[in-house]
Amino acid sequence: MSSAPKKRAQPKTTNTVSSDTLPDGKDNQQGKKGGLGDQTGQAFQLPESGTYYFDAYVDGQLYQTAQLDWIALGDQYRLYINIPYAIVGPFIFESRGSVDAYGIAPAIYWTQRGDKPPRYSRFDRDGSGNGKMYFSEKPDHTPDILPGTQDRFSLMFQLASLLNGSDKIDEAGSIRGIPVVDYNTLEMWQFKSYGENESEDIPSLGKSINRHYALMQRESSPYKRQVDIWLAKDLDWLPGRMRSLESNGRVLELIFKQRAPIDSSKLIN
């Protein structure tokens, strides 16, 4: 297992855009079709497949090792996370989908905590990338899918893919808006960038270059979870640290430990 990055091919240019510049419906921009009009995009490169291991903490207490499988094959992806918390049972998250003109395009996002029934959000897309959301927790709520819509975990890989395309984006102090799906909502999340810094925020990497993004408070519901993510240049900008402050005050944190090549059977299945 190693955290040393591999040499990467040059990023391809797609119509990936940040959602704080959503098109206004007028045909006044150049670019490929990607939902709600045409728009000039950014360079975009999916990270290579791999298995990542994280130390999982709850309120500062170390639990077992969490495993994250990231599989990118052609224009399809799968993101699977297993956090084996004691007592309450494992937390499992999965996101599957493809790549469209705006980057990562989830098709299904589901999660299960312990023995509780799974909850899921389905992206019912049409051929042009538009469509409706469907939530198992709120089946009567079917908002329109916005360009670049992500789920809670794919958004980090969307950011990594954008940074792999160009690390000149999101300078310190800038704000990036991303429409994000949770269990029963689709909301615009605003992330503040703290820019590129050399730090030891990811202890296993030592002093390394990282990008810190923080979810800004949402005026509509200021007591929802707060999220901080650190993306590591040595990991092709994949997350090296993730911290979530829940509405009940509990702090959940994943800190990168090591990575390994993806099991080849997972690429087939």
Q: Is residue 17 situated within a structural domain?
A: no
- As a whole number, mean pLDDT of residues 221-243 equals 87
Q: Is residue 19 situated within a structural domain?
A: no
On whether the CB atoms of residues 133 and 142 are closer than 8 A, the answer is yes
Residues whose CB is less than 8 angstroms from the CB of residue 139 and which lie 6 or more positions away in sequence, other chains included: none
Q: Is residue 18 situated within a structural domain?
A: no
Q: Is residue 211 situated within a structural domain?
A: yes
Whether residue 165 is predicted with pLDDT greater than 60 in this model: the reply is yes
Q: Is residue 249 situated within a structural domain?
A: yes
Give the pLDDT score at 206.
94
Q: Is residue 30 situated within a structural domain?
A: no
Model confidence over 170-197: pLDDT tens digits? Answer: 999 999 999 999 888 999 999 999 999 9
Confidence of residue 164 (pLDDT cuts 50, 70, 90): very high
Whether residue 6 is predicted with pLDDT greater than 80 in this model: the reply is no
Whether residue 217 is predicted with pLDDT greater than 60 in this model: the reply is yes
Rounded CA-CA distance 251/78 in Å is 26
What pTM value is reported for the model?
0.81
Please state whether beta strands 251-260 and 175-181 pair in parallel, antiparallel, or not at all (unpaired). unpaired
- Counted domains in the chain: 1
On whether the CB atoms of residues 226 and 218 are closer than 8 A, the answer is no
Note down the domain range covering 230: 49-268
Question: What rounded mean pLDDT belongs to the chain?
Answer: 81
Give the pLDDT score at 116.
86
Q: Is residue 38 situated within a structural domain?
A: no
Task: Give the residue carrying structure tokens 């999982």.
Answer: 56
Q: Is residue 185 situated within a structural domain?
A: yes
Burial class of residue 52 in the structure, from the number of CB atoms within 10 Å of its CB (0-12 exposed, 13-18 middle, 19+ buried): buried
The pair of three-digit structure tokens given for residue 181, joined into one six-digit string: 């799906």
CATH number for the domain spanning 55: value is: 2.50.20
